[in-house]
Amino acid sequence: MTEIQVRLFGAFKNFSSDSPSMTLDFQEPKAREGLSVSEIKAALSLKLGPDAQALIQESVLATEDRVLLPEDWIPSGSKLAILPPVCGG
């Protein structure tokens, strides 16, 4: 089994007020092969519940360095962030 950590920002904090991040567990062989963006989003949907679905759909995954592309492959053990639509300024 492996873990992917996902930090939550903005409106995602409505779904997890007690913790700013989620730990997602994945079984073999995913743990070995790595994961797709959509697999991580699906796991996050399960954890956060149906009310978070729409927000997850319009959000992106990112590292501290860049926003991930749909075709990116994510190694197990990664630390990611899920970024809802932004509104700074």
Partner 1 sequence: MSRIQCQVTEAPILTQDVVQFASERLHGAQNFFFGAVREVNHGQKVTAVAYDAFVPLAEKVLREICLEAQTRWGGDLEFILIHRTGRLGVGEISVAIGVTARHRDEAYQASRYVIEELKVRAPIWKKEFYESGETQWLKGHALCGHQVSSRPQSHPVDFGRE
Q: What are the φ/ψ torsions at residue 2 (nearest 5 degrees)?
A: -135, 170
- Binding piece for partner 1, criterion CB under 8 A, among 23-31, 44-52, 58-66: 58-66
Site string for partner 1, 6-35 (x = CB under 8 A): -x-xxx-xx---------------------
Q: Which token pair is 31?
A: 């743990």
Minimum gap (Å) between residue 45 Cβ and partner 1? 17
Question: 81 to each of 28, 29, 56, 59, how far by Cα in Å?
Answer: 23, 23, 12, 10
- Binding piece for partner 1, criterion CB under 8 A, among 25-33, 45-53, 64-72: 64-72
Q: Which residue type does 89 have? A: G
